[in-house]
Every structure is written in structure tokens, then in C-alpha cells.
Structure 1
Amino acid sequence: MWMVLVLVAVLVSALLLYRNYGRAYVVSSQYGGPPAWPILGNGLWFLNKSPVDFVKIVNDLVAVYGDTFRFWQGPQFTLYVANPTLIEGILTNRHLTDKSSEYGYLSNWLGDGLLLSKRHKWHSRRKAITPAFHFKILEQFVEVFDRNSTVLVDVLDRYADSGTTFDVFPFILLYALDVICESAMGTSVKALQNADSEYVLAVKEAANISIRRMFDFVRRTSFFYLTPSYLRLRKMLKILHGYTDNVIISRRKQLMHHSKMEVSRLESNESIDLGVKTRVAFLDLLLQTRIDGKPLTDLEIREEVDTFMFEGHDTTTSAVSFTIYNLAKYPAVQQKAYDEVIAVIGDDPTKEIELSHLQDLSYLEMTIKETLRLYPSVPLIGRRCIEEVTIEGRTIPAGANIIIGIHTMGRDPNYFENPLQFIPERFGGEMSLEKFNPYKFIPFSAGPRNCIGQKFAINEMKSVISKLLRYYEFSLPANSDVPLLASELILKPHHGIPLQIRRRENKRM
């Protein structure tokens, strides 16, 4: 009897697999790719692999199968694409706006915010939130960038002129956390002064656990909820969600209080002069946002604040750290960037940076973009195919995951001349990327679901790097190697960015 039950179970499983994935198996013949095990697919590749292994696996597959190939995550059909023409077709297709299933492993933290929400909900949220990134709103955050950059200078000064080699990456991470907390919630966690605070440690650990799930074949299953990692994640999220919830409640009360003051002023025809210019945090704008005539709930606001926090600190840290590495590695580039900073802002390092200064730092922006070509903060992005589509004569079946290889594409000699050479000028003048397919360079994604905060991010990067350049000259220690890359959704240097700094001459510290 039990043999019959086993056979029935196997048959039912096979029929379900065929119903859900049969079309994908038929379509897969259009693509090259590695052989796979039944049911398991190529999932064992990622079992207990480190973030460094993820980068190596992808690079090895690209070397064998080119810029477009398929593989299987269990029975899940996955298409890897690093071809600009195909990528343009994918990122502009209305059936391909949903994120791939990997992003779902962030949902415990981020809920259904802008990063993870789908179709209609994403569209309505995006439309409602876009005004928060208007240049007039962004301008007020320049002071936040500059003030926290000054704190960073003070923290790094212990290493100046000593010949000491230190890892700059964790300091940039703390700076980015301070900036994003203040910009998103209007509060300061003072991460640079208190790196071991409960909140700072919770951000790091929640990000690490959530992202590792994306690549681990076992943790992608329900087995994860039986592991110590899940219990640890719950503890970290309790800290993070609790902090955000308390700030939301406090800011909502403040907003109601100011509204009552304004009503009272109008009724009594009195004026109220607070004597200070009030800065509006991202949270304040969300508290006043309405979708279909209804205000956002506290949970919906928390989802968006947490999303902004998650997306805005690790990515900036990666970009700034790798840019500093390249400035240290290429002294001529560093000198040219420094000369531009002095020409635009002046030689007083204490002078406050203004938005107009940032807009005029064109060579520094080219340097950042060239860094993002070689070291994109988000090396892979994903989409999920809801309905079967055909792009450039190739069929992508419904339910397929699509992985877009930004890191691979930026180093492909088919798309960039001398791709491993660091040439900031390729982003300006006669070598400008405007002369060819812009989908070759998409560090902030592209199409309707591109990064809503990219102008905020570029301004923050230019602000902190220009501040550091006014105070310090960067160099690499002798015999330093190219950073070993690790991908945990965000591209990171596996052993950090070893750096030495020397004070600029005639600069008062």
C-alpha cells in the first residue's frame, strides 16, 4: 500500500512541476547554460558558499557561456543577462516590472515598500513618493552631508601622517548610516561616535542575514525558519522596527502640534517666528502623502522609511569606498579631482558645501561613474516575468527569474574599450557614454523602476569625497592588491579598503 502512495506522490509532484515549469524546460533550449540535476537544478552551487564565491561563480559562467545564459535554482528557470540590447528590452517591458523572487527574502524587514511592491501598488507608491526627491527637497540635505562629513574627518584624523594603514570601509559605512538616518527620519544615531550602538549593529546583522538567504539553496526554503539565523533576524528587526515606529509616532505628534499652532495663528491673526529654518525629513513628507485620497498608515510609512534606510546606506558606502580606492591608486586622477574641488569650493576646508558646488564638480562625478562601472554598488538586479514575453527573438517564459549582470557588463570588452583601465574621461567630452546604448551603464538600474534616490546618492558621494579631498591625500600601502570582491546584493571589498592618508599642506585641522 505504501508503495502505491509513494508512486502517487511522485506522480503528483511530477505533474505539478510540469504544470509550473514545463514551458520553461521547453523554452530553455533557446539558451546556452550549464547542465543541471533534476529538481535540484544548479542549486547546489550556492550551498554554503561565501559572498566571494558568488562573484567567482558568475564570472566563471560568463567566461564559458557568454553574456546570456540560463541556469536552474531548483526547478526555477533563471536567465542571466549582461547584454545591453536585451537589458533595454527587459527593463522597459511593462510585464517585467516585478522584482525577482530573491528580493522576497527582504520582506521580513522591508515589508511591501517601494523596493518590493508589485505592479499597481508599486506604481501608486512611486508616483506619490517621487515629489520627495525634487531638487528643492534634495537641496536641504546638502547641509546634512557636509556636517556629517566634518565628523568623519575628525574621526579619521587619528590616522593622518602616521603611516598607519587602516580600513576606510567601516568608517564610510557609519557616515552613511548617520546621513541616511537624519535624512530619512530626522533623527541622529551618531553612528560615527557610537559604532557599537544597538541600532547600528542591528542594521548590519539584519542586512547580512536577509541577503545571505538570497543565495543559499537551503535558507531559501522554509527550513530557514527553524534556524538560529531566523531567531536572530527577528531580534534585530524588533530593534529596527521599534526604533522606526517610535520616530513615526513622535513625528506625527509634532506635525499635529504644528498644525494646531498654525490654525491658532490664523484664527488670532498672529505670526509665529521660530527663528530657524526647518528641514523636512523624508518621513515628514510621507506623513503628508496621500494615495487615492487616503493617508499612509504607520505600517506603510515604516515600510518606505526602512526601504530608504536599507537602500541608502550600504550602496553609498560601497561607491564612496571604491572611489577613494581608485583615487588612491591613480594619483594623477586624484590630483585632477582635488584641483577641481579647490577651484570650485576654495582652499578653506571648513567652508560649507552648497548644492551649486556639487553641481560644478563634473570631473569628480566622472570619477564616481567610472568607479561604478568597474565596481557597481548593486552588481546584480532581478526581475520576474509575469507573462511570457519575446525580446529580440528570444522567449522568456512566465514565472522566470531574470538576473541582470551590471558588474559583468561594465567589464566586457565588447561594450567598453579597454574595460579594465580606469578612465573617468569616458563619461565626458568626446568619449561620452551618450554616444552609445545607455543600457551599457546602469548602476542605478534603468527604465520605469530605476533608483528613485540616485540624485540624492550622487550628491552625497560628491559631498563627502570632496570634503575628504580638501583635508587629506589618499595613498595605498605598498604591495596592496586589487580588492577581492564579495557580493551580498551589495558589492563589497572582502578584506576592506586598506588606506593611508596624509594631511594637505597648510590646512588647519
Structure 2
Amino acid sequence: MLILLFLPLLIAGCWFLNYFWNNRYLKQYPGPVPLPVVGSALDFVNPKKTVYQLLKYRENYKGDYKIYLGFQPLVFISELKSIEAMLNSTTNLKKSKQYQFFKNWLGNGLLLSDGDYWRRHRKIITPAFHFQILEKYVEVFNEVSNVLVECLEEKLNQGAFDIYPYITLSALDVMCDAAMGIPMNAQINSESQYVNSVKELGRITIARGFSVLQQYDFIYRFSESYQTEKKALKLLHSYAYNVIEQKKQENKNILSEDDLSAKKKLAFLDLLLYHNSKTNTLNDDEIREEVDTLLFEGHDTTASGISFTLYTLANYPGIQEKVYQEIKSIFGDDLTRAPTPSDLNELRYLEMVIKESLRLYPPVPFYARELTSNIKLGDRILPKGMIVGIYAMGIQHDENIFPNPYKFDPERFSPENSRGRSPYAFIPFSAGARNCIGQKFAMLEMKSTISKLLRHYQLLPTTPAQKLELILETVMRSNNGIMIRLKKRLP
């Protein structure tokens, strides 16, 4: 009985000690007054409000700010000088502990690893994203986009529908083919166990990250989510190991880079296995972790980026028409010609549109890191061990950098308007040493998918116009879908 009486007092006492200890450094940052024990966690109980709450904090505190989630203080930075200092750091590259909830799934893949291990793997993987290799993926983009066009036929002239699930399955097909070299056919078989397991793991992991109680393993292990996670992981990992073994057998006769380049289709896994056959530096677990990481990071983020761009195009018909005319100037009325890498590179206005959509709706609104050394951000110093949220959505809505920041205006990314702008002002793919290794791949995929859809369909808005309800899961998406209408384009 006495234990039950004093336990709340002990917890409260620990919280206050933790608060006053950290406040030695954090008093220089504005932020909401934290409640005892829970901090500002109650502001994030409803996941539908998370995106808006973070933006509201930024507007209220005019830049960088602090919050507490339970015992954990976090500093969100969105001032240019702070972001430049953080992303230019060569020592503070460690992901925050919140990312460790992906550990069971992704292991020590590039997303979660740090230090010398991360540097070694990054060096091994970087050649897989050389432009000459990326060119080989354009055929995959086209094949998957053709299936997407067919799947959307049923939605012609049938009123508004949510296009996001279609784009997600398309992006998953691309990543399974590009990462593993195995067609998943998720668009055709959307209820497959593999597809559902990927969805479940994403949902469970992000929910755990914002739960004060489930952040603790000893509590999480008693939850229903833990049992669901175990089942999904068993299926995904088993599938990946089987594919690795299958690819090893297929690639036995690949003895040189010329043999490798001669393959009609070249998957990320092929490149890893070839490298490993020469160096023997990766075991099967490490290979599986990197393949799973690429698949996870690649399909959700790209699906988000494509979907929000389609939403903006549907709601800005003048801009959509300008994009369509650019596409038509390259492909004419030929709906079947496959795009070449050169074709996609010529779609410069479409790239401006995609970038403006990524500015307004970044798939990953912030990146969190744990400081491994003290760092000076502007005129303030944060100590080793502090969690810093690099708030991409915040700086991308900074009116001093992007005037009238909530307006959709692709001209912001014209060559003349981009000239002189800091590369750290637009960071949907992060920046610095830990930037997204697949950002060129992602841009090519987005251009390929969007241009293929616009060659076949005119995108129309809902009536009345849909107001998005932004929600943060593994990536940012719209809780009420991406609602559009489709109309067949006539030659």
C-alpha cells in the first residue's frame, strides 16, 4: 500500500529533477509550459492534430522551440542558421532513439545505423544510385505506371475517389522490383499478406513513437500491437531471406561488372550481392536489413510525394495544363511510347511543380537526431544527449524565405527564383552527410508516374474543393484521402 502511495510521488519527483536539469540549457528556447510527468504529450494524443500542432508552435514561438514528451525534452529547429549548423555537422549524425522502434524491422540498415558502421554501409550502397544505374530503373517505372493507368480505368467518370491507396501500391511495386528484382504485383493483389504486413508495421511503429507508455519495451510487449508486429516481421523477414537465397543462385555466373551491366533488369539486391561476392563484407542479415530499409523508405515517401502533387495539379488546372503541354511537347499524342531518362530530365516544369508540392507537403516533416557532442545553433548551445528535431516543414513555410508560404507557386523553383537560396531552406530529402541516398531515384519515379497519368487522364478537383486533413504516420498523408476525379484525355 505504501508503495502505491509513494510511487506517483517518486515519478513526479524524478520528472521535476529531469526538468530542472535539462532546463539549464533549454531556458534559452521558448516553448509550451509542460505539465508534470506528461509534458506536452497531451497535445499529441490525437494524431490528426500533430502536424498542425507543430506548425502552431512554430508560429507562436517564431522559430526554434522546445517541447517535452513525458520525461523527454525535444528542441525543434526551423531557423535557417540552426538547420545549416545541424546539417553541416560531421559528428552529430546519430538518429534519435525514437527511430529505434523500427529496429526489429530494419535492423542496422542505413536509416538506423550510425558511426563507422553507417559510413561503411553508405560507401557500399552509394554506387547503386549512380545515374547510369538509375537509368535501368526507368523501365520498371514505366511498367508499373502502365498497370496503374489500367487500374484507374474503373474510376473514369465515376465521381471523386481517394487516389492515395492506388499510388501507394504502385510505389510498393516499384520498390519491390527495384530493391529485390522480384515483381510483387501489389496493384493487382492488394490484399496479399506481404502488402498488409508492410502497412501494419508502419502503422504500429509510428503510433508507438507518440505513445508515452508504449515507448517502454516492458509495457509494449504486453500489447496487442506487439503480437501483430511479431507476426508481420516473421512474414517479411522470411520472404526477404528467401529472395536473397534465390538471387544468389541466379547470380552465380555474374563474375564481372560487365556481366552485371548486361542484365536487362538490375535490382539493388543484385548490386549488393555482387559487391559482397568480391569483398565478403556483408552477411545475409546485413543485406536483408539494407533491402528492407530501401523498400520501407522508398515506397511510403514517394507515394506521399506523388499523391500530394496530384492533388495540387487537380486543384490548379492552369498549372496542370502547363505541365501537360510540356509532356505533350516530348511525347506528342503517343500514349504508348516509354519514357527515356533523357525524356524525364526534360520535364523541368513538372520538376518545379513536384518541388513546390514537396515544400508544402513534405513526406517527412521532421528528422530527429540525438546529439553525440555539444553543438552551437546560432547563439545557443545544446549539450550532448539532447534530441533535436530538424523541422523541414517549418523552414519550408518560413515567410522570410518563401513569401506567402501557404500559396502553391511552382515558380518559386524556377532557376532565377532559386538562385541565391540556401540549399538548407528546402530539405524534403534532408541535406548534408545523411541526406536521402535515393533522392534522384525518387524524383525520376515521381516524374515518370505523374507524366504517365497526365498523358492518359485529366485530373479534376472535388466539388466543393477538398480541404486536406494532414496526419503524420510513417510519412505525412491526408487522413481524409487525396480525393480527385478523372477524365479521359482526348488526342
TM range (shorter): over 0.9
Distance 1:140 1:212 in 2: 37
Aligned position for 2:273: 287
Query: Residue 464 of structure 1: which of 433, 439, 449 is its match?
Result: 449
Structure 1 gap segments, 5+ residues each: 264-271
> 1:2, CA displacement in angstroms?
7.1
Measured after TM superposition, the shift of residue 44 of structure 1 is: 3.6
* Aligned mate of 1:95, from 91, 104, 110: 91
> SS of the residue aligned with 2:424?
helix
1:212 corresponding residue in structure 2: 207
The answer as to 2:196 corresponding to 1:201 is yes
Native 8 Å contact 2:30 2:66 kept in 1 = yes
In structure 2, the CA distance between the partners of 1:398 and 1:291, relative to structure 1 (3 Å rule), is: farther
Shift of 1:291: 11
Q: Distance in 2 between matches of 1:241 and 1:2?
A: 47
Match 1:494 to one of 473, 479, 490? 479
- CA distance 1:240–1:436, change in 2 (3 Å): same
Could you tell me which amino acid in structure 1 is paired with residue 466 of structure 2?
D
Q: How many residues align?
A: 486
1:308 and 2:294 aligned: yes
Name which of 28, 32, 40 aligns with 1:30: 28
Deviation at 1:10, TM superposition (A): 4.8
1:80–1:405 Cα contact (<8 Å) kept: yes
Match of 2:174 in 1: 179
Q: Contact 1:288 / 1:295 at 8 angstroms: preserved in 2?
A: no
Determine the structure 2 residue equivalent to 1:479.
Answer: 464
Residues 43-73 of structure 1 deviation map (CA, whole Å, 9 limit, x = unaligned): 3433xx2331211321232232222111122
Partner Cα distance (1:273, 1:111) in 2? 31
Residue 266 of structure 1 corresponds to none
Equivalent residue in structure 2 for 1:113, among 92, 109, 112: 109
The range that moved more, 399-408 or 231-240, is 399-408
Q: After alignment, is 52-61 or 201-210 more displaced? A: 52-61
Q: Per-residue displacement from partner, 1:234-275 (whole Å, max 9, x unpaired)?
A: 11111111111110111112222x25xx69xxxxxxxx999x
Residue 421 of structure 1: CA displacement? 1.6
From 389, 392, 397, give the equivalent of 1:406: 392
CA contact (8 A) 2:173 2:185 kept: yes
Does the Cα contact within 8 Å between 1:168 and 1:499 map onto a contact in 2?
A: yes
Query: Counterpart of 1:412 in 2: which secondary structure?
Result: coil
2:444 is aligned with 1:446: no
CA deviations on 1:98-147 (whole Å, 9 max, x unpaired) are 11121111111111100000111111111111000001110000000001
Distance 1:254 1:277, change over 3 A: closer
> How far 1:417 sits from its partner (Å)?
1.2
Q: Which residue of 1 aligns with 2:147?
A: 151
Moved more, 198-207 or 29-38: 29-38
Which of 219, 225, 231 pairs up with 2:227? Answer: 231
Deviation at 1:35, TM superposition (A): 1.3
1:86 aligns with 2:82: yes
Amino acid across the alignment from 1:95: T
Q: Deviations over 1:468-487 (max 9, x none)?
A: 11001000121022211111
- The verdict on how the C-alpha distance between 1:156 and 1:64 changes in structure 2, with shifts beyond 3 A counting, is same
Unaligned runs of 5+ in 2: none
**1:330-349, aligned counterparts within 5 Å?**
330-349=316-335
Match of 1:168 among 153, 163, 172: 163
Shift of 1:295: 2.7
TM-superposed CA distance for 1:353, in Å, is 0.8
Aligned-partner SS, 1:295 = coil
On the 8 A contact 1:386/1:398 being kept in 2, the answer is yes
| Contact 1:387/1:398 (8 A) holds in 2 | yes
The alignment status of 1:248 with 2:234, answered yes or no, reads no
8 Å contact from structure 1 (residues 124, 291) kept in 2 = no
- Letter in structure 2 aligned against 1:178: D
Deviation at 1:75, TM superposition (A): 2.2
**Partner letter of residue 210 of structure 2?**
F
> In the alignment, residue 173 of structure 1 is paired with which amino acid?
T
Higher gyration radius (CA): 1
Tell me if the contact between 2:300 and 2:474 (Cα under 8 Å) persists in the aligned partners. Answer: no
**Superposition deviation, residue 290 in structure 1:** 4.6
Identity percentage of aligned residues: 42
Rate the CA distance shift 1:362–1:391 in 2: closer, same or farther, 3 A: same
RMSD (Å) for aligned C-alpha atoms? 2.5
Say if 2:352 and 2:411, in contact at 8 Å, map to a contact too. yes
User: Residue by residue, what CA displacement relative to the aligned partner does 1:378-400 show, whole Å, maximum 9, x if unpaired?
Assistant: 11111111122222221112111
Say whether the 8 Å CA contact 1:128–1:291 is kept in structure 2: no
The letter for the 1-side match of 2:405 is P
For the residues of structure 2 that align with 1:43 and 1:291, how far apart are their CA atoms? 49
2:161 and 2:485 in contact (8 A); partners too: yes
Q: Which stretch shows the higher mean deviation, 99-108 or 146-155?
A: 99-108
SS in 1 for 2:221: helix
Q: TM-score, normalised by structure 1?
A: 0.90
Partner residue, 1:388: 374
Q: Which deviates more from structure 2 when the two are superposed, residues 279-288 or residues 310-319?
A: 279-288
Worse-superposed segment, 352-361 or 163-172: 163-172
- What is the deviation of 1:163? 4.0
Q: Does 1:375 align with 2:361?
A: yes
* C-alpha separation in 2, matches of 1:241 and 1:149: 27
CA contact (8 A) 2:214 2:220 kept: yes
Paired residues of 2:43 and 2:50 also in contact (CA < 8 A):
no
User: How far apart in 2 are the matches of 1:105 and 1:28?
Assistant: 26
- Aligned-pair CA distance for 1:22: 6.2
Task: Output the CA distance in 1 between the equivalents of 2:6 and 2:364.
Answer: 45
Local SS of the residue matching 1:31: coil
Shift of 1:74: 2.2
- Structure 2 residue identity aligned to 1:175: S
Q: For the residues of structure 1 that align with 2:332 and 2:188, how far apart are their CA atoms?
A: 28
Q: Take 2:460 and 2:203, find their aligned partners in 1: how far apart are those partners?
A: 30
1:359-374 maps to which residues of 2 (within 5 A)? 359-374=345-360
Kindly provide the amino acid, as one letter, of the partner of residue 62 in structure 1: R
